[in-house]
């Protein structure tokens, strides 16, 4: 990439700095693409998207295990500005979502901004010229004024530490790194974990394997999935914008109403527990299995899993649920804590993702050389999941506490992108060259957020991937999503330090405010 001298659209006119690009967007999943499209539509063409893989799509490019699908209806799990009247199912499979993202990238002409096989490994804030110097895995560097990072909250597979795992002589892979070259027919297979991915893949592989052992630590709450093919009439109706809009609104409010139980009154979720129990009783023949597969924590505390075919897989003679913990893995077998040894040819790790490790192994050095993972030693924290005190001009999409346990994160991504476009506008209006959230504002925001978290279902005592090693929920938004949209709708200058702006001191004098 050639370094050019660019006019900074965010800086006072005439300000010139040596930059490769004005804005560096990281990741080409839903988040990075949303940012790229917004910049393109606003005519802010000086941006580059770097993507460590060879194609766009993020989650939906990586996760190709059999049965992989979203668990939010596609009318909501898609961009509001790019509806897809072609969805074939209410909950489409991975391939269709991946195709949708490629279609969107082409429709808005942003593919030409994406640099594939470009992995960010380190970035450093240069305080003198107020630029970010980003180092890629291939040794090259990109200098930019801003970084907008859509790394993905579920993009780094979590490989468990199990004694002997590395000694296993058969095939072993994580659900997010599916091996389609291995034929599972007639094989003895172990699936470790019973989270969302395992629940989707177990019914697909169960009929073809010789033996399937499903190792369960904690059962999930499983609800019926209202998944059905979209009829030709429904598809045709979706071509009419007002009808498509109404369907999206109705779906949003139906799903959002669940947030009352999640964030305000967890006892309200007892009703859904009744539905889940009935679903289990209808689908599971064995009383022993019903007992073993019934959670003892409140529904919603861990992610709810919608599925119509998970329980029935356990009625097959070749499928066995193992609830004893794993003591050890040997060259050709798994030994449980009771000493029972089961011979297996393949191990599939359905063990989820590293969600609370911050950005490790990536290094982000902000003002004063402070490293972000260091700043997050006691838990990830940001301001509305987007800005981080001490890291000017560095923004996250779906950062701390902005993932959801009940609705589509695409809604959050769009709100964050709109918010960032307002931040850029603020910079232009004030003539500032850099912006960073004030530390006291961020601290007050997170103290409020964690107080709010105490009353949510996620704090009712279960162990989940929403919580970090200290038991703190640093992943989810603890209120209604419309509260979030409203709060980030405005960018309040008094919450930020505007560097290089003539009015900086006046702005800083105002007290912190509740909203973005």
Q: Applying CB under 6 A, which residues contact ligand FAD?
A: 26-32, 50-53, 58-59, 63, 68, 70-72, 77, 119-120, 150-152, 154-155, 197, 362, 397-398, 408-409
From the CB of 118, what's the least distance to ligand FAD, in Å? 6
From the CB of 35, what's the least distance to ligand FAD, in Å? 9
Q: Are 219 and 194 in contact (CB under 8 A)?
A: yes
From the CB of 300, what's the least distance to ligand FAD, in Å? 15
Distance CA 91, CA 251 (A): 13
From the CB of 440, what's the least distance to ligand FAD, in Å? 28
Judged by beta carbon, residue 176 or residue 329, the one nearer ligand FAD is 176
Q: Give the closest residue to 48 by CA, choosing from 124, 134, 121, 128.
A: 134
Judged by beta carbon, residue 175 or residue 430, the one nearer ligand FAD is 175
From the CB of 470, what's the least distance to ligand FAD, in Å? 23
Judged by beta carbon, residue 167 or residue 360, the one nearer ligand FAD is 360
Helix axes 409-430, 481-489, angle to 10 degrees: 10
From the CB of 97, what's the least distance to ligand FAD, in Å? 8
DSSP code string of 240-294:
SHHHHHHHHHHHHHHHHTTHIIIII-GGGGHHHHHHHHHHHHHH---HHHHHHTS
Distance CA 107, CA 83 (A): 12
Q: Are 280 and 290 in contact (CB under 8 A)?
A: yes
Give percent helix, percent strand, percent coil of the chain, each to the nearest 5. 35, 20, 45
Judged by beta carbon, residue 23 or residue 329, the one nearer ligand FAD is 23
Judged by beta carbon, residue 352 or residue 379, the one nearer ligand FAD is 352
From the CB of 208, what's the least distance to ligand FAD, in Å? 21
What's the burial of 323, exposed, middle or buried (CB within 10 Å: 0-12/13-18/19+)?
middle
Residues in CB range of 246: below 8 A, 6 or more apart: none
Judged by beta carbon, residue 207 or residue 361, the one nearer ligand FAD is 361
Task: State how far the alpha carbon of 8 is from the alpha carbons of 22, 25, 94, in Å.
Answer: 7, 16, 39
Tokens of 445: 């925001």
Judged by beta carbon, residue 150 or residue 493, the one nearer ligand FAD is 150
Distance CA 130, CA 372 (A): 17
User: Distance from CA of residue 499 to its chain's centroid?
Assistant: 31
From the CB of 256, what's the least distance to ligand FAD, in Å? 13
Judged by beta carbon, residue 309 or residue 494, the one nearer ligand FAD is 309
Backbone conformation region of residue 504, classed left if phi is above 0, alpha if psi is from -120 to 50, else beta: alpha
Q: Are 120 and 50 in contact (CB under 8 A)?
A: yes
What b-and-e string marks burial along 172-208, b requiring 16 or more CB atoms within 10 Å of the CB? bbbbbebeeeeebeebbbbbbbbbbbbbbbbbebbee
Distance CA 58, CA 339 (A): 40
Distance CA 425, CA 413 (A): 18
Judged by beta carbon, residue 223 or residue 409, the one nearer ligand FAD is 409
Judged by beta carbon, residue 48 or residue 423, the one nearer ligand FAD is 48
From the CB of 58, what's the least distance to ligand FAD, in Å? 2
Judged by beta carbon, residue 213 or residue 465, the one nearer ligand FAD is 465
Residue matched to tokens 């960073």: 436
From the CB of 380, what's the least distance to ligand FAD, in Å? 15
From the CB of 94, what's the least distance to ligand FAD, in Å? 7
Q: Are 66 and 201 in contact (CB under 8 A)?
A: yes
DSSP code string of 303-350:
PPEE-SSHHHHTTSTTEEEE-SPEEEE-SSEEEETT--EEE-SEEEE-
Judged by beta carbon, residue 26 or residue 230, the one nearer ligand FAD is 26
Judged by beta carbon, residue 125 or residue 496, the one nearer ligand FAD is 125
Judged by beta carbon, residue 112 or residue 338, the one nearer ligand FAD is 112
Distance CA 483, CA 260 (A): 12
From the CB of 244, what's the least distance to ligand FAD, in Å? 19
Task: State how far the alpha carbon of 385 is from the alpha carbons of 227, 415, 437, 474, in Å.
Answer: 32, 11, 11, 10
Distance CA 141, CA 457 (A): 44
From the CB of 231, what's the least distance to ligand FAD, in Å? 22
From the CB of 413, what's the least distance to ligand FAD, in Å? 6
């Amino acid at each position: 990439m050639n370094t050019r001298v660019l006019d900074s659209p965010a800086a006072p006119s005439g300000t010139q700095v040596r930059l490769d690009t004005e804005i560096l967007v990281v990741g080409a999943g839903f988040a990075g693409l949303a940012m790229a499209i917004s910049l393109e539509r606003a005519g802010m063409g000086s941006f580059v998207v770097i993507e460590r893989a060879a194609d766009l799509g993020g989650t939906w490019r990586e996760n190709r295990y059999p049965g992989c699908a979203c668990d939010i209806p596609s009318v909501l799990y898609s961009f509001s500005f790019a509806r897809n009247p072609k969805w074939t199912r209410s909950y489409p499979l991975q391939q269709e979502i991946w195709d949708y993202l490629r279609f969107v990238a082409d429709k808005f002409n942003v593919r030409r901004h994406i640099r594939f096989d470009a992995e960010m490994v380190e970035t450093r804030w240069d305080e003198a010229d107020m630029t970010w110097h980003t180092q890629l895995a291939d040794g090259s560097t990109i200098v930019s004024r801003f970084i907008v990072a859509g790394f993905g909250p579920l993009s780094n597979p979590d490989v468990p530490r199990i004694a002997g795992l590395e000694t296993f002589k058969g095939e072993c892979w994580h659900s997010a790194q599916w091996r389609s070259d291995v034929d599972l027919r007639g094989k003895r297979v172990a699936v470790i974990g019973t989270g969302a991915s395992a629940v989707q893949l177990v019914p697909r592989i169960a009929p073809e394997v010789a033996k399937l052992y499903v190792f369960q630590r904690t059962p999930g709450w499983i609800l019926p999935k209202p998944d059905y093919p979209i009829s030709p009439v429904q598809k045709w109706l979706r071509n009419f914008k007002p009808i498509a809009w109404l369907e999206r609104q109705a779906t949003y409010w139906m799903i959002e109403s669940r947030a009352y139980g999640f964030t305000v009154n967890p006892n309200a979720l007892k009703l859904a527990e009744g539905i889940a129990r009935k679903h289990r009783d209808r689908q599971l023949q064995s009383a022993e299995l019903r007992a073993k597969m019934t959670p003892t924590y409140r529904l919603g505390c861990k992610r709810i899993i919608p599925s119509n075919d998970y329980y029935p897989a356990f009625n097959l003679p070749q499928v066995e649920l193992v609830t004893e913990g794993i003591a050890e893995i040997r060259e050709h077998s798994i030994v449980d804590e009771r000493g029972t040894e089961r011979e297996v040819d393949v191990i599939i790790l359905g063990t989820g993702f590293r969600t609370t490790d911050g950005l490790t192994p990536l290094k982000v050095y902000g003002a004063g050389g402070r490293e972000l993972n260091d700043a997050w030693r006691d838990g990830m924290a940001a301001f509305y999941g987007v800005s981080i005190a001490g890291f000017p001009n560095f923004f996250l999409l779906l950062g701390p506490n902005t993932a959801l346990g009940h609705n589509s994160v695409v809604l959050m991504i769009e709100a964050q992108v709109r918010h960032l476009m307002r931040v850029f506008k603020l910079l232009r209006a004030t003539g500032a060259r850099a912006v960073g959230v004030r530390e006291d504002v961020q601290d007050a925001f997170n103290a409020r957020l964690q107080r709010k978290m105490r009353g949510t279902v996620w704090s009712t005592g279960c162990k989940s991937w929403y919580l970090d090693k200290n038991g703190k929920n640093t992943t989810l938004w603890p209120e209604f999503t419309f509260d979030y949209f409203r709060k980030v709708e405005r960018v309040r200058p008094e919450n930020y330090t505007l560097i290089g702006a003539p009015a900086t001191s006046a702005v800083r004098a105002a007290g912190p405010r509740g909203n973005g």
